[in-house]
Structure 1
Amino acid sequence: MSNSSFFATLFQVTFTPDNGTLSFNLNGVSQISGKVILEFQVLGYGYSVYHGTIDPCADDTLKGLCPMNQGAIPNLPSNAEIPQSTVSKVPNAIYYIPDIDGKVRVWINSTDGTPLACVEAELTNTKTVNQKAVAWTVAVIVGLGLAISAIISGLGHSVTAAHVAANALSLFSYFQAQAFIGMTSVESPPIVEAWTQNFQWSMGLIRVGFLQKMATWYQRSTGGTPSTYLSALSTASVQVQKRSLAVMGAVAGLTKRSNSATTNIETMKVLTVSGIKRVGFKGNIELTNIFFTGYIFLVIFVMFVTLGVFAFKFICEALIKSKKLKPEQFHDFRNGWTLVLKGILFRIVLIAFPQMVVLCFWELTQRDSSAEVVLAISTVVTMIILLAWASLKVWRIARRSIALHQNPAYILYSDPNALNKWGFLYVQFKASMYYFVVFCLGYILIKGMFIALGQGSPTLQAIALVIIEAAFLIAISIMRPYMDKKTNAFNISIASINLFNVILLLFFTGIFNMPALAIGIMGVLFFIVNAIFALIVILMVAWVSFKALTTKNPDSRYQPMRDDRASFIKSQNSLGGTQELDALGATARGDQFAAERKRMDLEDEDDSMASSQNVSQVNRPQYNQQEMGYSTPQEPPRSATASPYGYSNPASRSAQQFRAQNTASPNMWQRGVGY
């Protein structure tokens, strides 16, 4: 309470139902002088379970408080007898429910009943859903999913690689959404805060001792003042914001200090943490190190991935020289590993985008040091520019493909340069939905900004998140933008759960004035629904990844995608080094001009639509479009093989016929995808 006359440096409470005792240890610094009465109250989910008073002068163990004197008071252990009739009213389930919302509150009152101070301690049955094993398990499964997709892609199974990667990324985005819930400043039930704490690793908030020292050193060396709450808890009281604070506020201010004498209490610090600060404090991270911790883990991750690609390249070469690896395996990766590395780094930018949007914009409100502010601005602006530029490149390539081939999938999947470098933005979507990534990036940006900049307005945060999640769910339910039905169902399910979570978050704000017990029940419901759903999607991703590794031809498990992308994916392998087979393969795909011109360079600035049309008109006037596998909008040819875009695709049929007649393994056509 404000203007408190007592500051507790220790307050521990233990309730033993077998003998009905409530034991506690209490010490601290006092400005109170005179006789006092201790008023006990035990709360469970907002309801008073027990309420009673103790006179220190009548309790032998509390003689040190009769009367209470100014200054430091010694550790005073005591036991309070609770009637058995009261103990029997406590449900047995309360001893097993994790993260129970229970508290013990003690008022120090004057003999006339005037509140002088209030101390509070949380009750726990030592059971919690915040488990390091859970965090490590989900992190390993997501990481393995992404790694397996890369390996499967290198082995030539492009369809399987696309599905594994898409599911792993969707699962990771779900974990980040869970972390977002914990980062809001809404006063959620303890079980919700504990559950969402399991996923803060997806935001880079992982405590490592030497990194914390590095963050503190960096902040101090760049003009900032590091916080020391974790290392000075003996002189600082850090209160994790709870729903009960509103009740405590009713007591605050009822009386001013009864004694104006200056004691050690004046040097004590009191801090209430919520939102992102609450997440950092629970993660044992100093409050001024939160941004730098997330940033440095991104840098470390990029470094390890880059070194991993380097190592994998040289390991492959060494295995081939020792004849332990077939030359055609990982052929495209070994020949174009720098291009693959660029695509991987772009994908990391996409994965880390939600994390850095929240942390960078939040750092602008904290300003831990001038250098960290500059770092935050430069990082988030660079990420936005890179992803916007990459999205523009995809749009231009798709528009050019539509103009030349009446199909966006043709160049998006037939050009290995585009596929390996920019494929991370569109392979999870249908070819006709190549632009949907722009909506996804906008969704992440707006959502992250409300989390970062709305820390002082929990109700506004909750309302905004409900609107954002509802709009995203409606969009993907109507547009169905993902590559197939299963992937659409997977992502729609995740979006539905995200909407359910933020609706509960809106109830947690208290704007509907619901009773505390109802809020507690909703908190348990939040945990149960998300725990079951997380288990299901984790098992699905793990199963898909396992089958991808153990099945001889995993692509056979998936139906051909309607955008015919597999027909356009070119192999960078020369099929044994014979140029005749390369030419034959190009003919089968409908690209008979490949021998007359080099592959279009998608990185040049002259790859605009107009220049592409000019190239096609200059280089190909003597060929008939229908013979080459193209059709004009005016006279579209009829074909028994229909395309999902409403046009004939003889190139696809030719490719299928050629593979059936001349290729022993269709995987030879599907290398170099770079998922």
Structure 2
Amino acid sequence: MLPSLSRVVLLAAAAALPFASAERVIESKSLNPCQANSSFSATLFNVAFTPNNRSLGFNIQGVSSISGNVNAELELLVYGYSAMKSSLNPCDNEDLKGMCPMNAGNLNIKSNLDITPDVMSKIPGIAYTIPDLDATVRIKITDSKTKEQLACVEAELSNGHSVDQKAVAWVTAVIAGLGLVASAITSGLGHTNTAAHVAANAMSLFGYFQAQALFGMCAVPLPPIVAAWTQNFQWSMGIIRVGFLQRMATWYQRATGGTPTTFLSQLSTTSIEVQKIKRGLDATTRMLGRLLSRSNADSTNIQHQNRIIFHGIKRVGFRAHIETTNIFFTGYVFFLIFVLVTIVCVVAFKFICEGLVKAGKMKSDKFVDFRNGWKTVLRGIMFRVILIGFPQMVVLCFWELTQRDSAGEVVLAIFTLVTMIGILGWASSKVIRIAQRSITMHKNPAYILYSDPVALNKWGFLYVQFKAASYYFIVPILGYVLIKGMFVGLAQGNGTVQAVALLLIEAGLLIGVSVLRPYMDKKTNGFNIAIAAINFLSAIFFLVFSNVFNQPGIVTGVMGVIFFIYNAAFALILLLMVLVSSGFAVFTKNPDTRYQPMRDDRGSFIKSQTQLTTELDALGATARGEGKGTHAYNKPRSGIDDDDDSFSSASVADRQLAAKEGAFTEHYQPNPPRSPADAAPGPNGGVYSPPPSYNGRSSPAPSSNYGAPYGRAGSLRNEQAYRSANNSSPWQRGAGYDH
């Protein structure tokens, strides 16, 4: 029965297909039932049609309980469209005489058939070239007398080509990494405005990649091209196959009381299918499938008669050739590797810079802020790494709590979740408290957030991408990631619930960023609003893929292709934007000219005092104690990272510094970063009073006063008195920050 049917199926498919790959082959590796209580099932189904030698090879193992005379109906579905229907009566076909009548029993067939040249000429060439061919052959067997449907099976056809390519994964990973590295280098060179923009865009790009990966991890049946496209970004979730790491994961699981799965070693005897869109099924079959999914104790794969269907996270792991019980450990270890590699790179860069300076190969003022405060910078980078890995670990840890692969892995999941949520929650609360103290003291959140180099380098990763008045927006972002990760990790048993939840979550983020526009400038707001809009559109597509609307199959097939096209185009645009901005940041002499100053006047607070251009500048820096050994990172600080969250402790060094500043009033009197709460001298000797509050839309202090002379010695004495009373030296300004 099946050899003849398989031949007819594949030939009919080739004749009707408008689509398919480069190595000329059409194959199917699973024969799946499409009705409840099907009288035929296959535990192994491998069929391959190779046009180069005109051969149709097949290896089929199954069980049939059908006996008597039957009729068969073949239907070819291409992207949900019924391209061909054909009825076969085995008693009227010479090639199918063995099926007239059919006999119940085991079926074990392994053979090859030759295809005639006239049949080959009917196959369109494009059938071998399109990636992720979405074509299915469905066979329905009915009793020739009673017309009762006895069995329904379907075979997914593939041409061996896919948009899931390692090259795509490598390119996206490298460009995202280059953006982060370029921002760090640019920050070290003192171009803080450029560094902030490049880092913000690189982080948003990385977030978009993780969003694509999360869509692929949802338990929604996906068109083949959508599943393949989202697989390209699973590297951002740590789903990367490495041989020795898989052996380590298996060993660790066994050592901590778990039992590893062996699905990848059973491919020769077990039919394994990744969940795809099921089209054209009757209502009874669809309802039965949903009931089976809900009652499935595993909630991530369905096993029936030696047939296994993976969906969600297990589908992603299987496509990456990772055993399902190794998925969590693989992602966890790659996150640890990311952390360790980052630490090693920062420490190595510190000592390389010092070595080059001592050898005279690099100017002593290059990366001086990083070299003097590298430990603080490293702590800030570690916080940023935790922020990058937060979506990955939230999903995998919550999912591990439902899988419980081993006691040791459950402990790792709980510890990691609690630690990361605690660290990011505590860091966010620190930023909010510092900003609120700054508003109380200086009527401006940006003053303390940007004027202290240690606070900026340690906590800046949470707020530099936002305008000063929106310093709090990191909290909604973290909440968005946490809730989204919980639905993806915990709701693997119901793809419809995930699709609806993601739609609401993405809609909330899109509305938030569109209305509040919290990012640092118009370009950055536009960049992130575009990403939020694309993610929201993708969530709408996923709701359709979940089949809640019972739409025709052709709708789902076409929407799958559209999903790939607009996401591929959008990803390419983002990659080019980040690549170009990174190139300008690293290879231009003054990249800050490409960006306008921030309207929150952060540049006035973080202007580097190590970028000296004149002798008087050098004398002023010496007077402020920013020479060798007295850098802003090294001199006594006022305790911004202590519990008071402000410059609250009056230090002798600050008072001495204020006295030193008076010695240079005759020669060098540039304005320091002035608190908007200070009374500034007006152009005619009067006193300027700043606005009583900061609304986030205009500069908190008149920009014309920055860089202007103080005017009179009396005003300087008033300034010194204010500093002593408020214990906040305005010379505690940062010299740049790492992103």
Fold-level similarity (TM above 0.5):
yes
Residue matched to 2:293: none
The whole-number CA distance in structure 2 between the counterparts of 1:190 and 1:421 is: 44
Residue matched to 1:661: none
Structure 1 residues 457-476: aligned runs within 5 Å: 457-476=494-513
Structure 1 residues 97-496: aligned runs within 5 Å: 97-107=130-140, 118-244=152-278, 247=281, 269-496=306-533
Shift of 1:50: 3.4
The whole-number CA distance in structure 2 between the counterparts of 1:111 and 1:647 is: 84
Q: Which stretch shifts more, 505-514 or 427-436?
A: 505-514
- Listed as ranges, the gaps of 5+ residues in structure 2 are 1-32, 289-302, 627-631, 660-670, 681-686, 711-732
Q: Which stretch shifts more, 43-52 or 360-369?
A: 43-52
The whole-number CA distance in structure 1 between the counterparts of 2:164 and 2:100 is: 38
CA deviation map 1:292-337 (0-9, x unaligned): 1111100111111111112111211221121111111111212221
The whole-number CA distance in structure 2 between the counterparts of 1:156 and 1:619 is: 28
The whole-number CA distance in structure 1 between the counterparts of 2:543 and 2:102 is: 47
TM-score normalized by the length of structure 1: 0.84
8 Å Cα contact 1:564-1:652 kept in structure 2 = no
In structure 2, relative to structure 1, the CA distance for the partners of 1:533 and 1:569 (3 Å cut) is same
In structure 2, relative to structure 1, the CA distance for the partners of 1:320 and 1:65 (3 Å cut) is farther
- Determine which of 549, 567, 570 is the counterpart of 2:604: 567
In structure 2, relative to structure 1, the CA distance for the partners of 1:59 and 1:130 (3 Å cut) is farther
CA deviation map 1:599-654 (0-9, x unaligned): 2222222x157x949999x999x99xx999445599993579x9866676369834
Task: Determine if the alignment matches structure 1 residue 649 to structure 2 residue 701.
Answer: yes
The whole-number CA distance in structure 2 between the counterparts of 1:207 and 1:572 is: 47
- Determine which of 600, 625, 631 is the counterpart of 2:638: 600
8 Å Cα contact 2:74-2:87 kept in structure 1 = yes
Task: Determine if the alignment matches structure 1 residue 27 to structure 2 residue 65.
Answer: no
In structure 2, relative to structure 1, the CA distance for the partners of 1:60 and 1:163 (3 Å cut) is same
In structure 1, give the amino acid aligned to 2:737: V
The whole-number CA distance in structure 2 between the counterparts of 1:11 and 1:645 is: 65
In structure 2, relative to structure 1, the CA distance for the partners of 1:653 and 1:253 (3 Å cut) is closer
The whole-number CA distance in structure 2 between the counterparts of 1:627 and 1:134 is: 49
In structure 2, relative to structure 1, the CA distance for the partners of 1:428 and 1:56 (3 Å cut) is farther
In structure 2, relative to structure 1, the CA distance for the partners of 1:12 and 1:329 (3 Å cut) is same
SS at match of 1:247: coil
SS at match of 1:174: helix
In structure 1, give the amino acid aligned to 2:333: I
Residue matched to 1:10: 45
Residue matched to 2:110: 75
Identity %: 51
8 Å Cα contact 2:187-2:195 kept in structure 1 = yes
The whole-number CA distance in structure 2 between the counterparts of 1:341 and 1:65 is: 76
Structure 1 residues 26-105: aligned runs within 5 Å: 26-30=59-63, 32=65, 39-48=73-82, 49-53=84-88, 55=90, 59=94, 70-71=105-106, 73-78=108-113, 96-105=129-138
In structure 2, relative to structure 1, the CA distance for the partners of 1:30 and 1:555 (3 Å cut) is same
Shift of 1:338: 1.4
Residue matched to 1:665: none
In structure 2, give the amino acid aligned to 1:674: D
8 Å Cα contact 1:33-1:69 kept in structure 2 = yes
Residue matched to 1:637: 688
SS at match of 1:434: helix
8 Å Cα contact 1:135-1:201 kept in structure 2 = yes
Task: Determine if the alignment matches structure 1 residue 534 to structure 2 residue 568.
Answer: no
The whole-number CA distance in structure 2 between the counterparts of 1:582 and 1:479 is: 40
The whole-number CA distance in structure 1 between the counterparts of 2:555 and 2:673 is: 68
TM-score normalized by the length of structure 2: 0.77
In structure 2, relative to structure 1, the CA distance for the partners of 1:122 and 1:577 (3 Å cut) is farther
Residue matched to 1:513: 550
The whole-number CA distance in structure 2 between the counterparts of 1:248 and 1:235 is: 30
Q: Which stretch shifts more, 628-637 or 131-140?
A: 628-637
8 Å Cα contact 2:43-2:307 kept in structure 1 = no
SS at match of 2:85: strand
Shift of 1:420: 0.7
The whole-number CA distance in structure 2 between the counterparts of 1:627 and 1:159 is: 19
SS at match of 2:156: strand
CA deviation map 1:13-56 (0-9, x unaligned): 5386x99x994624214355866756543222334323333639
The whole-number CA distance in structure 1 between the counterparts of 2:227 and 2:187 is: 38
Shift of 1:457: 2.0
8 Å Cα contact 1:43-1:50 kept in structure 2 = no
Residue matched to 2:296: none
Q: Which stretch shifts more, 472-481 or 114-123?
A: 114-123
Shift of 1:124: 2.5
Shift of 1:72: 5.5
CA deviation map 1:398-431 (0-9, x unaligned): 1111122111111111111101111100010111
Shift of 1:584: 5.8
CA deviation map 1:479-498 (0-9, x unaligned): 11111111011001111111
Residue matched to 2:737: 673
Shift of 1:234: 2.2
In structure 2, relative to structure 1, the CA distance for the partners of 1:317 and 1:222 (3 Å cut) is same
SS at match of 1:374: helix
In structure 2, relative to structure 1, the CA distance for the partners of 1:93 and 1:510 (3 Å cut) is farther
Shift of 1:246: 7.2
Task: Determine if the alignment matches structure 1 residue 582 to structure 2 residue 621.
Answer: yes
The whole-number CA distance in structure 2 between the counterparts of 1:120 and 1:550 is: 57
8 Å Cα contact 1:220-1:226 kept in structure 2 = yes
The whole-number CA distance in structure 1 between the counterparts of 2:116 and 2:547 is: 35
In structure 2, relative to structure 1, the CA distance for the partners of 1:78 and 1:104 (3 Å cut) is farther
In structure 1, give the amino acid aligned to 2:232: N
8 Å Cα contact 2:198-2:581 kept in structure 1 = yes
| Corresponding pairs, count | 635
Shift of 1:228: 0.8
8 Å Cα contact 1:236-1:268 kept in structure 2 = no
8 Å Cα contact 1:470-1:499 kept in structure 2 = yes
- RMSD of aligned Cα (Å): 4.0
Q: Which stretch shifts more, 73-82 or 388-397?
A: 73-82
The whole-number CA distance in structure 1 between the counterparts of 2:501 and 2:218 is: 11
In structure 2, relative to structure 1, the CA distance for the partners of 1:396 and 1:56 (3 Å cut) is farther
8 Å Cα contact 1:167-1:541 kept in structure 2 = yes
Q: Which stretch shifts more, 217-226 or 1-10?
A: 1-10
Shift of 1:657: 6.6
The whole-number CA distance in structure 2 between the counterparts of 1:612 and 1:253 is: 66
In structure 2, relative to structure 1, the CA distance for the partners of 1:634 and 1:673 (3 Å cut) is closer
